[in-house]
């Protein structure tokens, strides 16, 4: 069934002139566009892969299709710039023959609930990469897990509970913890030091600054790059190396048949997030109401056969 949904998304991409391989790993991040959700960290990973392939066109790698979706608030300039960067990187990557179908990017237009019905079951890797301590809960990560997608994420929001249920060995964990974030900010976080001391990070940001993804325009993405180098409120640069190393582990796992076992365990162990349990706990802990048994009986309904009907 997953293959059917993958083909449907590949067809949607094809209608926009983007040839997506349904057999590639579908790496998805669909959610509200916001700096704390760090879609631009995902983009930095894509640029890192792009730079690796350009340096070694014959390198062996897991074919990736990166799927993005989501909307920014009307007045949120930086979020809109992240959308622009994602699509500008896509324009370059998708049309570079050196990528040879190993790297594709597709930004879903007008992402909504209807589209989500396709995205959740077709995803191989779910991106839940907010800075630890910033996500109140998150529900998209639950939907992805229930449909068998593996998760790459930080110790943030519902990721923590998902990890507890599926087991750390079936979760791709990276990044700073809440305590580490607070400690680093307390002593004075310096994003520039990470830029200077990590060659791939420096190359990725320099690629953006050079105008490579903006037809030579060095000013278009300057606000985004300057924000990361001099402020980086959501600490992308601090988490970059851990994220890239974790993504490399994901790629190796995808080529291993054991990923099927990991996916099945996600589905089998995610029952805690059912609405039945959630509503039951609200009744006990918040509303202080008692559940009432509902008597059911069989009824024969035309064109439906035997079904349950509430007793009168």
pTM: 0.90
Report the C-alpha dihedral over residues 90, 92, 94, 98, rounded to 10 degrees. -140
Cβ neighbourhood burial of 237 (10 Å; 0-12, 13-18, 19+): buried
CA-based angle 258:263:269, to the nearest 5? 125
Q: What is the pLDDT of residue 30?
A: 96
Q: How far apart are the first and last CA of the chain?
A: 40
DSSP 147-163: TT-EEEE-S-TTHHHHH
In the structure encoding, which two tokens stand for residue 154, read together? Answer: 């930080």
DSSP 23-70: TSEEEEEES---GGGTHHHHHHHHHHHHHHHHH-TT-----EEEEEE-
Cα–Cα distance for residue pair 27/13, rounded to 1 Å = 14
CA 213 to the chain's CA centroid: 22
Q: What is the pLDDT of residue 85?
A: 98
Cα–Cα distance for residue pair 4/114, rounded to 1 Å = 16
Biggest CA-to-CA distance, the chain: 73
Cα–Cα distance for residue pair 83/39, rounded to 1 Å = 9
The H or E element that residue 105 is part of is strand 103-107
What domains are defined for the chain?
A: 2-284 (3.40.50.2000)
Three-state secondary structure string covering 271-307: HHHCHHHHHHHHHHHHHCCCCCCCCEEEEEECCCEEE
- Model confidence pLDDT, tens digit, residues 85-103: 999 999 999 999 999 889 9
Buried b (16+ CB within 10 A) or exposed e, 283-301: eeeeeeeeeeeeeeeeeee
Cα–Cα distance for residue pair 277/160, rounded to 1 Å = 18
Strand partners, 128: 153
Closest CA to 106 of 129, 88, 122, 87: 87
Q: Which long-range contacts (CB under 8 A, 24 or more apart) does 50-58 make?
A: 50/89, 50/92, 50/93, 50/96, 50/99, 50/103, 50/207, 51/200, 51/203, 51/204, 51/207, 53/98, 53/99, 53/102, 53/103, 54/96, 54/98, 57/98, 57/100
Q: Which residues of the chain have pLDDT under 70?
A: 1, 296-312
- Model confidence pLDDT, tens digit, residues 162-172: 999 999 999 99
Q: What is the pLDDT of residue 274?
A: 84
Mean pLDDT of the chain: 92
The H or E element that residue 238 is part of is helix 236-254
Closest CA to 126 of 95, 158, 103, 97: 158
């Amino acid at each position: 069934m997953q293959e059917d949904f993958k083909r449907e998304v590949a067809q949607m991409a094809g209608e926009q002139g983007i040839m997506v391989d349904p057999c590639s790993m579908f790496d998805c991040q669909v959610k509200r566009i916001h700096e704390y959700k760090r879609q631009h960290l995902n983009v930095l990973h894509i640029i890192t892969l792009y730079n690796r392939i350009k340096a070694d066109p014959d390198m062996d790698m897991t074919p990736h299709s990166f799927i993005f979706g989501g909307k920014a608030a009307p007045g949120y300039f930086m979020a809109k710039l992240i959308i622009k960067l994602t699509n500008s990187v896509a324009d370059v990557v998708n049309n570079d023959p050196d990528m040879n179908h190993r790297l594709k990017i597709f930004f879903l237009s007008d992402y909504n609930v209807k589209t989500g019905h396709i995205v959740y079951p077709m995803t191989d890797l779910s991106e839940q990469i907010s800075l630890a301590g910033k996500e109140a809960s998150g529900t998209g990560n639950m939907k992805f897990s229930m449909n068998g997608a593996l998760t790459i994420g930080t110790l943030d929001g519902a990721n923590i509970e998902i990890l507890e249920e599926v087991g750390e060995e079936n979760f791709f964990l990276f990044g700073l913890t809440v305590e580490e974030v607070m400690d680093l900010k307390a002593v004075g976080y310096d994003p520039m030091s990470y830029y200077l001391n990590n060659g791939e990070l420096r190359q990725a940001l320099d690629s953006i600054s050079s105008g490579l993804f903006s037809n030579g325009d060095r000013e278009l993405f300057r606000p985004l790059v300057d924000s990361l180098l001099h402020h980086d409120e959501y600490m992308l640069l601090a988490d970059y190396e851990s994220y890239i190393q974790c993504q490399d582990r994901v790629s190796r796992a995808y080529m291993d048949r054991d990923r099927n076992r990991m996916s099945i365990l996600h589905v089998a162990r995610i029952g805690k997030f059912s609405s039945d349990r959630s509503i039951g706990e609200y009744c006990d802990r918040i509303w202080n109401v008692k559940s009432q048994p509902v008597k059911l009986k069989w009824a024969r309904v035309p064109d439906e056969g035997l079904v349950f009907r509430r007793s009168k």
